Structure 1
Amino acid sequence: MNAPQQLRRRLQRAWYRRRLRDPAYRFLLGDASPEQAVAIDCETTSLDAAACELIAVAAIPIEGDRLLMHSALELLIKPQTAMRTDAIAIHQLRAMDVAKGQNIDDALCALLEFIGPRPLVGYYIDFDLSVLNRYVRPILGIPLPNPTIDVSGMYFDRKIGRIPQRPVNLGFDHMLRELQLPVFRQHDPFNDALMAALCYVKLRHIRRL
């Protein structure tokens, strides 16, 4: 992170501290080790980030080049509305699968405690953040303050220097295969978090593809 980015980050955190509604969550604005991050993925009742409900979250801690699989968090959440069939076809979670899930308040509390101030890593993570922030803002008074890292952006940055005039294929399968990483079934929250974590760890050590 360069000097202007560091200044912007400090100013943003100061603003978040003033706006934080519940001081019990001040730990989210602490300092994380530069070697730590959390890979995260969410599944929802529909594909509409502005209206869907959260039904599953997986989060895997990263420390340096190690994935702390034994410490991973997996949450199922019982929604209040019916799931759309197009979403079920993608993530294959049915109403009966999430019927015994946690309520959203308990799940959010567990998730926030788990991630702490660590950066969040994901594949096209903006969708996940949009959904999570709809739940988080009423509690915190602010969006999730964590730095975010999108592995598709990391991949693009390393690819574009070599082929600046050509479109870059950012498909998850394509990225994983080019990076010689395993491809698991997608739209399973744990698998997607795991694959994002693997991409992140490998891309950290690659300057150009």
Structure 2
Amino acid sequence: MNLFQWLKPNRPAKGADLTAEQLLRLSQLPRASALGGHPLRQQRWVMLDLETSGLNMNRDQVLSIGAVVIEDGAIDLGQQFERTLSRPDHKLGPSVLIHGLGPSAIAAGSEPVEALLDFMEFVGDSPLLAFHAPFDQHMLGRALKESLGYRLQHPFLDVAEIAPLLCPQACLRQAGLDDWTAFFGLHAGERHNASADALVTAELALILFSHARRQDMDSPLQLEQALGKWRRRQQSHSF
């Protein structure tokens, strides 16, 4: 079976044509790794933040991707990712007042196929973290499917759930990122910028990982399992 035949079932949903080089890069993306039982400090995490054209998960588009890596128990500033995506059909909306990505920035952005390939190569087989992760996971997954025909299967953990799980005394169960950064005394130099938000969320995650270790959740798998139990408790209390 040649490369083209192997990739054919996963061609982009909108029929976009990928070059031979892009098809090769797509075929070489590593498979996502499941969360394991090794210590949290030994896990490479990719902290993700997206800026989008709005909050409609089925219609709006990813405009900007920001990410930073947590590795060896610290934020690795040498491993950062930032791309604005070119969206020729993007219409200016109210969200520009939040993320500040005007027409000139969008027009000068990277071609989505290239930007998304670059990002998934940056991610590798690492799990992802985000604040309100279901939104980022859905938006990134849809962008990858539409542009690359790629199915996102990487584990995602939600920092917005990890925080109240580990710090119930804060009484901030439905709080935003600003609430949690204020609770821990963190300073966000710039908000609603994908890279800046990813960095401050990574700082928050490191604090939470320290709390997790003290509560005998010292592996990605243990943390994921504890989140599942916490989520079920929240759902049972809502009935």
The counterpart of 2:195, out of the listed 178, 190, 194, is 190
Segments of structure 2 that go 5 or more residues without pairing to the other structure are: 1-8, 11-22, 216-239
Q: How many residues get paired?
A: 186
Q: Residues of 1 paired with 2:175 and 2:78: CA distance?
A: 29
Q: Aligned letter for 2:179?
A: H
What corresponds to 2:159 in structure 1?
151
Deviation, 1:201, is 0.8
Q: Distance in 2 between matches of 1:27 and 1:58?
A: 20
Measured in 2, the distance between the counterparts of 1:73 and 1:26 equals 17
Match of 1:11?
Answer: none
Counterpart of 1:24 in structure 2 is 27
Checking the alignment, whether the CA contact within 8 Å between 1:184 and 1:191 is kept in structure 2 is yes
Task: Sort the Cα spacing of 1:140 and 1:28 in 2 relative to 1 into closer, same or farther, 3 A.
Answer: farther
- The one-letter amino acid paired with 2:143 is Y
Partner of 2:71: 63
User: Structure 1, unaligned stretches of length 5 or more?
Assistant: 1-19
Greater Rg by CA: 2
Kept in 2: contact 1:46–1:83 (CA 8 A)? no
Report the alpha carbon displacement of residue 141 of structure 1 after superposing the two structures with TM.
5.0
CA shift at 1:63, angstroms? 0.3
1:6-57 residue CA offsets vs partner (Å, 9 max, x unmatched): xxxxxxxxxxxxxx84871451335788421000111112221211122110
| 1:153-192 to 2 correspondences below 5 Å | 153-160=161-168, 162=169, 168-192=173-197
Correspondence for 2:102 among 94, 100, 106 = 94
Query: Closer, same or farther in 2 for the Cα pair 1:103/1:204, shift >3 Å?
Result: same
Residues 86/24 of structure 1: CA separation in 2 closer, same or farther (3 Å cut): same
Q: What is the alpha-carbon root mean square deviation over aligned residues?
A: 2.6
Using structure 2 for the length normalisation, give the TM-score. Answer: 0.70
Partner Cα separation in structure 2 for residue 168 and residue 175 of structure 1: 10
Partners of 1:117 and 1:140 in 2: how far apart? 18
Work out the CA distance in 2 between the residues paired with 1:206 and 1:96. Answer: 43
Structure 1 CA distance for aligned equivalents of residues 150 and 178 of structure 2: 37
Q: Percent identity?
A: 21
**Equivalent position SS for 2:175:** coil
Q: Distance in 2 between matches of 1:74 and 1:167?
A: 30
Determine if contact 2:92/2:102 at 8 Å carries over to the other structure: no
- Note if 1:83 corresponds to 2:91: yes
What is the identity, as a one-letter code, of the residue corresponding to 1:196?
Answer: T
User: Within 1, Cα distance between the matches of 2:190 and 2:52?
Assistant: 17
- The one of 140, 157, 163 equivalent to 1:132 is 140
Which residue type is aligned with residue 184 of structure 2? Answer: L
2:48 counterpart SS class: strand
Match of 1:203 among 208, 226, 235: 208
